[in-house]
Amino acid sequence: MIYYFSGTGNSRYVAQRLGASIRQEARFIPATNPYTETLGQEPDSSIGIVFPVYSWGVPPIVLDFLAHLPEAMMEDIRSRNIPLWCVATCGDETGDALTMLRKALRARNVDLSGAWSVIMPNVYVMLPGFGTDSASLEEKKLKESISRVTEIAGRIEKGDFAFDVHTGTFPRLRTSITYPLFRRWGVQTKRWHFTDTCISCGKCARTCPVGNIAMSDGHPVWGTDCTSCCACFHICPTNSIQYGRITRKMGQYSFRNPSEQ
Ligand SMILES: Cc1cc2nc3c(=O)[nH]c(=O)nc-3n(C[C@H](O)[C@H](O)[C@H](O)COP(=O)(O)O)c2cc1C
């Protein structure tokens, strides 16, 4: 079983490609009730967790999911020695996200056997100075992800686990300073709004991975469960959706399957 979270498609693609290669189901975390998960009668040979790096850490929705998996499932993982692995997708670097995930798993008395990162196009647009990649960099990252995912799938299949993550410089420092700020101030839901180019298509509401956008009088209204994935910003066909004034000049990202190009 592979559990994954994805806002804008990068991690979904990685999870589904890995799943197809190693013949495991890829299950979307927001659509999965953690409380009723089990390993089943014939468990897979490993369990994977695939997620995008958020502020050099792990998206809170992923940590929350892991915290609520049943103890019986954890016991089963331990007694059957099922290896756990993770793949983090990131625009550039993971920081100490891996340690954060490891801590969350150790709190459940299980540990990671392997971890990899895959560099994918950047989608973060909620702070000045960040933004999407140039078209050529986007292309390069997507192309390189093909062989990277194939390599990772091969290793998982063989049980040849490794810790091979692009942490960047000063990972511990970056994560310990930035991630708590992100959790506290990273999403100010009230900043999300639509402008007069909104055509009431509802794509934002349908795309939001956590169902946090409702359409009211033909326009999006944000609830309080925003995960800051930026999917609504990127999907909007008229670039109507904005986060305060920060996103006005940011480019939009649209995931394209690199294996089909
Ligand atoms: C809120 C947020 C924070 C992010 N923080 C980082 C980061 O610290 N380091 C990094 O390399 N990429 C960062 N990114 C980029 C994503 O990790 C990357 O684009 C990822 O592949 C997106 O995955 P998805 O399409 O499955 O949502 C961030 C993206 C978002 C939305």
Name the one residue in this structure whose structure tokens are 């049943």: 70
Which of ligand 1's atoms lies nearest the C-alpha of 123? Answer: 19
In order of their start, the domains of the chain are 2-182 (3.40.50.360), 188-249 (3.30.70.20)
Protein residue closest via CA to atom 4 of ligand 1: 54
pLDDT, average across residues 203-230: 97
Strands (E), the chain: 2-4, 26-28, 47-52, 84-90, 114-119, 163-164, 192-194, 213-216, 219-222, 241-243
Distance from C-alpha of 88 to C-alpha of 156, rounded to nearest angstrom: 15
Determine if ligand 1 sits within 6 Å of the CB of residue 57: no
CA 255: distance to chain centroid? Answer: 13
Q: How many CB atoms lie within 10 A of CB 169?
A: 8
Can you state the angle between helices 60-67 and 97-106, rounded to 10 degrees?
Answer: 20
**What would the pLDDT profile of 51-63 be if each residue is shown by its tens digit?**
999 999 999 999 9
DSSP per-residue string spanning 201-261: --HHHHH-TT--EEEETTEEEE-S------HHHHH-TT--EEETTGGGGPPP-----GGG-
Q: Please say if the pLDDT value at position 261 is more than 90.
A: no
Q: Using DSSP bridges, classify how beta strands 26-28 and 47-52 pair: parallel, antiparallel or unpaired.
A: unpaired
Among 53, 92, 226, residue to substitute to test ligand 1 (most atoms within 8 Å of Cβ): 53
Determine if ligand 1 sits within 6 Å of the CB of residue 175: no
Q: Please say if the pLDDT value at position 131 is more than 90.
A: yes
- The answer to whether the CB of 121 falls within 8 A of the CB of 141 is yes
Q: What is the pLDDT of residue 251?
A: 97
Which of ligand 1's atoms lies nearest the C-alpha of 53? Answer: 17
Q: What is the pLDDT of residue 176?
A: 96
**What would the pLDDT profile of 139-160 be if each residue is shown by its tens digit?**
999 999 999 999 999 999 999 9
**What would the pLDDT profile of 232-253 be if each residue is shown by its tens digit?**
999 999 999 999 999 999 999 9
Determine if ligand 1 sits within 6 Å of the CB of residue 228: yes
Distance from C-alpha of 92 to C-alpha of 76, rounded to nearest angstrom: 35
pLDDT, average across residues 21-43: 96
Q: Please say if the pLDDT value at position 187 is more than 90.
A: no
pLDDT band of residue 186 (cuts 50, 70, 90) is confident
Determine if ligand 1 sits within 6 Å of the CB of residue 209: no
- The answer to whether the CB of 72 falls within 8 A of the CB of 38 is yes
Beta bridge partners of 90: 119
Which of ligand 1's atoms lies nearest the C-alpha of 56? Answer: 8
pLDDT band of residue 82 (cuts 50, 70, 90) is very high
- The answer to whether the CB of 165 falls within 8 A of the CB of 88 is yes
